[in-house]
Amino acid sequence: MSRAMRALPRAVGLPGSGATFRLLAWLALAAAVGMSGGQVVNAAETQESPGLALLQKMQQAARSLDYAGVYTYQQGNVVLSTRIVHVVDGTGERERVSLLDGQPREYIRHNETTQCLLPDSKVVLVEQRESERFPAVLLDEGERLPGHYDFQVGEEPERVAGRVCQVLKLKPRDSQRYGYRFCADKETGLPLRVQTVGSEGVLIQIVFNTLEVGADVTSEALSPAWNIKDWEVVEVPVKEVDLASEGWRIPLPPGYQPLTQVERKLQRGRHFKQLVASDGLSSISVFIEAYAEKGSPSHEFGLLRKGALNVYRKRIGDHWLTVLGEVPADTVRELAQRTEYVPLGVP
Protein backbone atom coordinates (compact mmCIF):
# COMPACT_ATOMS: atom_id res chain seq x y z
CA MET A 1 0.00 0.00 0.00
CA SER A 2 1.40 3.41 -0.98
CA ARG A 3 2.11 6.22 1.46
CA ALA A 4 -0.82 8.13 -0.04
CA MET A 5 -3.31 5.32 0.49
CA ARG A 6 -2.11 4.87 4.08
CA ALA A 7 -2.41 8.63 4.62
CA LEU A 8 -5.94 8.99 3.27
CA PRO A 9 -7.72 7.77 6.44
CA ARG A 10 -5.65 10.20 8.50
CA ALA A 11 -6.41 12.98 6.02
CA VAL A 12 -10.09 12.52 6.70
CA GLY A 13 -9.65 12.06 10.44
CA LEU A 14 -9.86 8.26 10.54
CA PRO A 15 -7.94 5.81 12.72
CA GLY A 16 -8.92 3.04 10.31
CA SER A 17 -11.24 2.05 7.52
CA GLY A 18 -14.17 1.17 9.81
CA ALA A 19 -14.87 4.68 11.15
CA THR A 20 -17.73 5.38 8.78
CA PHE A 21 -19.21 8.26 10.75
CA ARG A 22 -16.05 10.36 10.75
CA LEU A 23 -15.32 9.55 7.12
CA LEU A 24 -18.71 10.70 5.93
CA ALA A 25 -18.63 13.74 8.18
CA TRP A 26 -15.32 14.84 6.66
CA LEU A 27 -16.53 14.24 3.11
CA ALA A 28 -19.69 16.21 3.75
CA LEU A 29 -17.67 19.09 5.17
CA ALA A 30 -15.19 18.93 2.30
CA ALA A 31 -17.97 19.04 -0.24
CA ALA A 32 -19.93 21.75 1.50
CA VAL A 33 -16.99 24.11 1.92
CA GLY A 34 -15.97 23.46 -1.64
CA MET A 35 -19.15 24.40 -3.42
CA SER A 36 -19.55 28.16 -3.34
CA GLY A 37 -20.66 29.34 -6.72
CA GLY A 38 -19.78 32.95 -5.97
CA GLN A 39 -22.63 34.25 -8.10
CA VAL A 40 -24.15 37.63 -7.37
CA VAL A 41 -27.89 38.13 -7.02
CA ASN A 42 -29.44 40.86 -9.14
CA ALA A 43 -29.93 44.41 -7.89
CA ALA A 44 -33.71 44.14 -7.53
CA GLU A 45 -33.41 41.14 -5.20
CA THR A 46 -30.84 42.83 -2.97
CA GLN A 47 -32.88 46.06 -2.78
CA GLU A 48 -35.91 44.05 -1.63
CA SER A 49 -33.83 42.25 0.99
CA PRO A 50 -31.14 44.29 2.79
CA GLY A 51 -30.22 41.13 4.70
CA LEU A 52 -29.50 39.24 1.50
CA ALA A 53 -27.45 42.18 0.26
CA LEU A 54 -25.40 42.04 3.48
CA LEU A 55 -24.85 38.30 3.04
CA GLN A 56 -23.65 38.90 -0.50
CA LYS A 57 -21.33 41.65 0.74
CA MET A 58 -19.84 39.19 3.27
CA GLN A 59 -19.31 36.60 0.55
CA GLN A 60 -17.65 39.10 -1.77
CA ALA A 61 -15.36 40.34 1.01
CA ALA A 62 -14.27 36.78 1.83
CA ARG A 63 -13.29 36.21 -1.80
CA SER A 64 -11.81 39.56 -2.80
CA LEU A 65 -9.89 40.91 0.22
CA ASP A 66 -6.39 40.22 1.51
CA TYR A 67 -6.64 39.07 5.13
CA ALA A 68 -4.91 36.91 7.72
CA GLY A 69 -5.90 35.76 11.17
CA VAL A 70 -6.76 32.98 13.57
CA TYR A 71 -10.32 31.77 14.02
CA THR A 72 -11.86 29.28 16.44
CA TYR A 73 -14.45 26.61 15.69
CA GLN A 74 -16.54 25.64 18.70
CA GLN A 75 -19.20 22.94 18.95
CA GLY A 76 -20.08 21.70 22.42
CA ASN A 77 -16.83 20.74 24.15
CA VAL A 78 -14.89 20.74 20.87
CA VAL A 79 -12.74 23.84 20.33
CA LEU A 80 -10.37 23.98 17.34
CA SER A 81 -8.19 26.85 16.14
CA THR A 82 -7.15 27.56 12.56
CA ARG A 83 -4.83 30.11 10.97
CA ILE A 84 -5.85 31.49 7.57
CA VAL A 85 -4.04 33.67 5.04
CA HIS A 86 -5.93 34.85 1.96
CA VAL A 87 -4.39 36.93 -0.83
CA VAL A 88 -5.81 38.02 -4.19
CA ASP A 89 -3.28 38.81 -6.91
CA GLY A 90 -3.02 38.75 -10.69
CA THR A 91 -3.39 34.97 -10.73
CA GLY A 92 -6.58 34.89 -8.67
CA GLU A 93 -7.26 33.70 -5.12
CA ARG A 94 -4.47 32.15 -3.05
CA GLU A 95 -5.00 30.77 0.42
CA ARG A 96 -3.21 28.91 3.17
CA VAL A 97 -5.17 27.27 6.00
CA SER A 98 -3.21 25.74 8.91
CA LEU A 99 -4.81 23.58 11.60
CA LEU A 100 -3.37 24.59 14.97
CA ASP A 101 -4.86 21.72 17.02
CA GLY A 102 -4.62 17.97 16.58
CA GLN A 103 -2.52 16.43 13.82
CA PRO A 104 -0.49 19.03 11.86
CA ARG A 105 -2.06 19.73 8.50
CA GLU A 106 -2.28 22.54 5.97
CA TYR A 107 -4.44 23.33 2.96
CA ILE A 108 -2.85 25.38 0.19
CA ARG A 109 -5.33 26.68 -2.39
CA HIS A 110 -4.85 28.46 -5.71
CA ASN A 111 -8.26 29.15 -7.23
CA GLU A 112 -9.87 25.71 -7.81
CA THR A 113 -6.77 23.65 -6.91
CA THR A 114 -6.43 22.63 -3.26
CA GLN A 115 -3.46 20.78 -1.78
CA CYS A 116 -3.81 18.98 1.56
CA LEU A 117 -0.37 18.65 3.17
CA LEU A 118 0.14 15.65 5.49
CA PRO A 119 3.57 15.99 7.13
CA ASP A 120 3.41 12.69 9.05
CA SER A 121 3.19 10.77 5.76
CA LYS A 122 4.99 13.34 3.56
CA VAL A 123 2.05 13.25 1.16
CA VAL A 124 0.28 16.03 -0.77
CA LEU A 125 -3.32 15.24 -1.72
CA VAL A 126 -4.51 17.39 -4.65
CA GLU A 127 -8.13 17.98 -5.60
CA GLN A 128 -9.53 20.12 -8.41
CA ARG A 129 -12.65 21.97 -7.32
CA GLU A 130 -13.77 25.31 -6.00
CA SER A 131 -12.86 25.42 -2.35
CA GLU A 132 -14.61 27.85 -0.06
CA ARG A 133 -14.59 27.81 3.72
CA PHE A 134 -15.08 30.31 6.51
CA PRO A 135 -15.15 33.28 6.23
CA ALA A 136 -17.11 32.56 3.02
CA VAL A 137 -20.78 32.14 3.94
CA LEU A 138 -22.86 31.28 0.86
CA LEU A 139 -22.93 27.90 -0.86
CA ASP A 140 -24.66 29.29 -3.96
CA GLU A 141 -26.05 32.63 -5.11
CA GLY A 142 -28.48 32.75 -2.18
CA GLU A 143 -31.54 33.71 -4.20
CA ARG A 144 -33.80 31.14 -2.47
CA LEU A 145 -32.94 32.23 1.07
CA PRO A 146 -35.66 34.91 1.54
CA GLY A 147 -38.27 32.23 0.86
CA HIS A 148 -37.07 30.07 3.75
CA TYR A 149 -35.59 32.49 6.30
CA ASP A 150 -36.70 35.72 7.95
CA PHE A 151 -33.90 38.31 7.87
CA GLN A 152 -33.26 40.76 10.69
CA VAL A 153 -30.45 43.32 10.42
CA GLY A 154 -29.37 44.51 13.86
CA GLU A 155 -29.17 48.19 14.69
CA GLU A 156 -26.74 47.96 17.60
CA PRO A 157 -23.12 47.20 16.58
CA GLU A 158 -21.03 44.56 18.30
CA ARG A 159 -17.28 44.06 18.63
CA VAL A 160 -15.33 40.97 17.57
CA ALA A 161 -11.52 40.58 17.35
CA GLY A 162 -11.15 44.28 18.14
CA ARG A 163 -13.36 45.33 15.20
CA VAL A 164 -16.88 46.76 15.07
CA CYS A 165 -19.38 44.52 13.29
CA GLN A 166 -23.02 44.51 12.21
CA VAL A 167 -25.36 41.69 13.26
CA LEU A 168 -27.55 39.77 10.81
CA LYS A 169 -30.00 37.13 12.06
CA LEU A 170 -31.67 34.50 9.88
CA LYS A 171 -34.61 32.68 11.44
CA PRO A 172 -35.89 29.60 9.56
CA ARG A 173 -39.51 29.62 8.44
CA ASP A 174 -39.83 25.85 8.79
CA SER A 175 -38.29 22.97 10.72
CA GLN A 176 -36.07 21.75 7.85
CA ARG A 177 -33.05 23.92 8.76
CA TYR A 178 -31.31 25.74 11.58
CA GLY A 179 -31.06 29.49 12.05
CA TYR A 180 -27.93 31.62 11.66
CA ARG A 181 -26.42 34.68 13.28
CA PHE A 182 -23.64 36.65 11.56
CA CYS A 183 -21.52 39.61 12.56
CA ALA A 184 -20.05 41.43 9.55
CA ASP A 185 -17.12 43.84 9.84
CA LYS A 186 -18.48 47.38 9.44
CA GLU A 187 -15.39 48.51 7.55
CA THR A 188 -14.93 45.67 5.05
CA GLY A 189 -18.01 43.43 5.26
CA LEU A 190 -15.86 40.42 6.17
CA PRO A 191 -17.70 37.96 8.46
CA LEU A 192 -16.07 38.04 11.89
CA ARG A 193 -18.41 35.56 13.54
CA VAL A 194 -20.87 32.94 12.26
CA GLN A 195 -23.21 31.04 14.58
CA THR A 196 -25.54 28.15 13.80
CA VAL A 197 -28.61 28.37 16.04
CA GLY A 198 -31.13 25.70 17.06
CA SER A 199 -34.01 25.58 19.51
CA GLU A 200 -31.54 24.99 22.36
CA GLY A 201 -29.35 27.97 21.44
CA VAL A 202 -26.00 28.30 19.63
CA LEU A 203 -24.92 24.92 18.23
CA ILE A 204 -21.78 25.96 16.34
CA GLN A 205 -19.68 29.12 16.46
CA ILE A 206 -16.82 30.14 14.18
CA VAL A 207 -15.19 33.40 15.24
CA PHE A 208 -12.05 35.34 14.44
CA ASN A 209 -9.77 35.86 17.43
CA THR A 210 -7.20 37.93 15.53
CA LEU A 211 -7.50 39.53 12.11
CA GLU A 212 -5.46 41.74 9.78
CA VAL A 213 -6.91 43.13 6.55
CA GLY A 214 -5.17 44.90 3.69
CA ALA A 215 -1.59 45.83 2.91
CA ASP A 216 -0.08 44.18 6.00
CA VAL A 217 -0.98 40.75 4.58
CA THR A 218 1.84 39.57 2.30
CA SER A 219 2.15 36.66 -0.12
CA GLU A 220 5.16 35.34 1.81
CA ALA A 221 2.74 34.11 4.48
CA LEU A 222 1.27 31.68 1.92
CA SER A 223 4.34 29.43 1.95
CA PRO A 224 3.86 25.97 3.53
CA ALA A 225 5.34 25.26 6.94
CA TRP A 226 7.32 22.33 5.50
CA ASN A 227 9.61 21.70 2.53
CA ILE A 228 7.41 19.49 0.35
CA LYS A 229 9.84 19.14 -2.56
CA ASP A 230 10.29 15.37 -2.15
CA TRP A 231 6.80 14.52 -0.89
CA GLU A 232 4.53 12.16 -2.78
CA VAL A 233 1.86 14.04 -4.75
CA VAL A 234 -1.46 12.27 -5.32
CA GLU A 235 -4.49 13.46 -7.27
CA VAL A 236 -7.66 12.59 -5.33
CA PRO A 237 -9.91 10.72 -7.79
CA VAL A 238 -13.34 12.34 -8.13
CA LYS A 239 -15.76 11.54 -10.95
CA GLU A 240 -19.07 13.26 -11.70
CA VAL A 241 -22.17 11.05 -11.66
CA ASP A 242 -25.93 11.39 -12.22
CA LEU A 243 -27.74 9.52 -9.45
CA ALA A 244 -31.20 10.05 -10.94
CA SER A 245 -30.20 8.39 -14.20
CA GLU A 246 -28.91 5.44 -12.14
CA GLY A 247 -32.33 4.96 -10.57
CA TRP A 248 -32.05 6.95 -7.33
CA ARG A 249 -35.09 9.00 -6.31
CA ILE A 250 -33.91 11.43 -3.63
CA PRO A 251 -36.65 13.85 -2.44
CA LEU A 252 -34.80 16.92 -1.21
CA PRO A 253 -36.46 19.19 1.41
CA PRO A 254 -38.09 22.43 0.23
CA GLY A 255 -35.54 25.03 -0.83
CA TYR A 256 -32.67 22.58 -1.28
CA GLN A 257 -31.12 22.02 -4.69
CA PRO A 258 -28.25 19.77 -5.81
CA LEU A 259 -24.82 21.39 -5.94
CA THR A 260 -22.70 18.42 -6.94
CA GLN A 261 -22.89 14.66 -7.54
CA VAL A 262 -19.59 12.78 -7.50
CA GLU A 263 -18.04 9.39 -6.97
CA ARG A 264 -14.98 9.10 -4.75
CA LYS A 265 -12.59 6.17 -4.65
CA LEU A 266 -11.06 5.57 -1.25
CA GLN A 267 -8.65 3.07 0.24
CA ARG A 268 -9.06 -0.70 -0.16
CA GLY A 269 -11.28 -0.40 -3.20
CA ARG A 270 -14.14 1.40 -1.44
CA HIS A 271 -16.34 3.71 -3.51
CA PHE A 272 -18.80 6.34 -2.32
CA LYS A 273 -21.26 8.25 -4.45
CA GLN A 274 -22.18 11.58 -2.93
CA LEU A 275 -24.85 14.16 -3.61
CA VAL A 276 -24.51 17.57 -1.94
CA ALA A 277 -27.59 19.79 -1.80
CA SER A 278 -28.02 23.23 -0.25
CA ASP A 279 -30.52 26.00 0.32
CA GLY A 280 -27.67 28.50 0.01
CA LEU A 281 -26.51 28.32 3.64
CA SER A 282 -27.11 24.87 5.07
CA SER A 283 -26.16 21.71 3.23
CA ILE A 284 -27.07 18.04 3.19
CA SER A 285 -24.95 15.17 1.87
CA VAL A 286 -26.36 11.87 0.66
CA PHE A 287 -23.83 9.01 0.49
CA ILE A 288 -24.38 5.73 -1.34
CA GLU A 289 -22.06 2.75 -0.95
CA ALA A 290 -22.30 -0.89 -1.95
CA TYR A 291 -23.72 -3.04 0.83
CA ALA A 292 -21.23 -5.08 2.82
CA GLU A 293 -21.78 -7.11 5.98
CA LYS A 294 -18.30 -6.37 7.25
CA GLY A 295 -17.46 -2.85 8.38
CA SER A 296 -21.11 -1.96 8.98
CA PRO A 297 -22.01 -2.78 12.59
CA SER A 298 -25.63 -2.65 13.65
CA HIS A 299 -25.17 0.45 15.83
CA GLU A 300 -24.64 2.51 12.67
CA PHE A 301 -28.27 1.98 11.62
CA GLY A 302 -30.78 4.72 12.31
CA LEU A 303 -30.04 8.17 13.69
CA LEU A 304 -26.71 9.38 15.05
CA ARG A 305 -26.04 12.86 16.39
CA LYS A 306 -22.85 14.77 17.03
CA GLY A 307 -23.66 18.30 18.16
CA ALA A 308 -25.38 20.06 15.26
CA LEU A 309 -24.48 17.22 12.89
CA ASN A 310 -27.21 14.63 12.34
CA VAL A 311 -26.75 11.37 10.44
CA TYR A 312 -29.32 8.80 9.36
CA ARG A 313 -28.14 5.47 7.96
CA LYS A 314 -30.15 2.65 6.40
CA ARG A 315 -29.90 -0.17 3.92
CA ILE A 316 -31.69 0.01 0.56
CA GLY A 317 -31.34 -3.24 -1.38
CA ASP A 318 -27.67 -3.82 -2.06
CA HIS A 319 -26.65 -0.34 -0.90
CA TRP A 320 -25.93 1.58 2.26
CA LEU A 321 -27.59 4.98 2.28
CA THR A 322 -26.33 7.69 4.65
CA VAL A 323 -27.86 11.17 4.90
CA LEU A 324 -25.78 13.69 6.81
CA GLY A 325 -25.89 17.40 7.50
CA GLU A 326 -25.83 20.22 10.01
CA VAL A 327 -29.62 20.29 9.90
CA PRO A 328 -32.32 19.06 12.32
CA ALA A 329 -32.62 15.32 12.90
CA ASP A 330 -36.06 15.09 11.30
CA THR A 331 -34.68 16.55 8.08
CA VAL A 332 -32.11 13.79 7.53
CA ARG A 333 -34.45 11.06 8.84
CA GLU A 334 -37.30 11.98 6.50
CA LEU A 335 -35.02 12.32 3.48
CA ALA A 336 -33.48 8.89 4.12
CA GLN A 337 -36.82 7.20 4.72
CA ARG A 338 -38.33 8.63 1.52
CA THR A 339 -35.36 7.87 -0.74
CA GLU A 340 -35.94 5.04 -3.22
CA TYR A 341 -33.80 3.03 -5.60
CA VAL A 342 -35.49 1.85 -8.78
CA PRO A 343 -33.01 0.04 -11.06
CA LEU A 344 -33.04 0.95 -14.73
CA GLY A 345 -35.78 -0.83 -16.63
CA VAL A 346 -38.03 -1.15 -13.58
CA PRO A 347 -41.13 1.10 -13.70
CA distance 49 to 56: 11
Q: Determine which of 116-130, 167-181, 191-205, 285-299 has the lowest per-residue pLDDT on average.
A: 285-299
- Beta strand 283-290 pairing with 271-278: antiparallel
- Residue 322 contacts residue 316 (beta carbons within 8 Å): no
pLDDT surpassing 50 at residue 158: yes
Average pLDDT over residues 10-15: 35
The C-alpha atoms of residue 63 and residue 152 are separated, in whole angstroms, by 24
Instruction: Give the residue-averaged pLDDT of 53-65.
Output: 96
DSSP 51-92: HHHHHHHHHHHHHHS-EEEEEEEEETTEEEEEEEEEEEETTE
Domains of the chain listed by start with CATH number: 39-233 (2.50.20.10), 237-341 (3.30.200.100)
Q: What is the pLDDT of residue 16?
A: 30
Check pLDDT > 90 for residue 271: no
Average pLDDT over residues 105-128: 94
- Helix, strand or coil for residue 35? coil
Whether the predicted pLDDT of 17 surpasses 60: no
Decide if 343 contacts 337 (C-beta within 8 A): no
Pairing label, strands 123-128, 232-235? parallel
Task: Compute how many other C-beta atoms are within 10 angstroms of the C-beta atom of residue 286.
Answer: 25
The DSSP secondary-structure symbol of 133 reads -
What is the rounded average pLDDT of the residues 37-42? 38
Q: What is the pLDDT of residue 307?
A: 80
- Contact yes or no for 117/99 (Cβ under 8 A): no
**Residue 40 banded pLDDT, cuts 50, 70, 90:** very low
Question: Cα–Cα distance between 100 and 159 in angstroms, integer?
Answer: 24
Q: Which residues contact 222 (CB under 8 A, 6 or more apart)?
A: 85, 87, 94, 95, 96, 108
Q: Ranked by mean pLDDT, which of 6-10, 270-274, 323-327 comes out on top? A: 323-327
Average pLDDT score, the chain: 85
Which of these, 44, 8, 4, lies nearest to 26 by C-alpha position?
8
Q: What average pLDDT does the segment 266-293 reach?
A: 86
pLDDT of residue 301: 74
The rounded distance, in Å, linking the Cα atoms of 30 and 114 is 11
- Which range has the top average pLDDT, 133-137, 265-269, 288-292, 331-335? 331-335
Contact indicator for 202, 196 with CB cutoff of 8 Å: yes
At residue 297, the 3 state secondary structure works out as: coil
pLDDT band at 345 (very low <50, low <70, confident <90, very high): low
**Cα angle 137-139-140, degrees, rounded to a multiple of 5:** 120
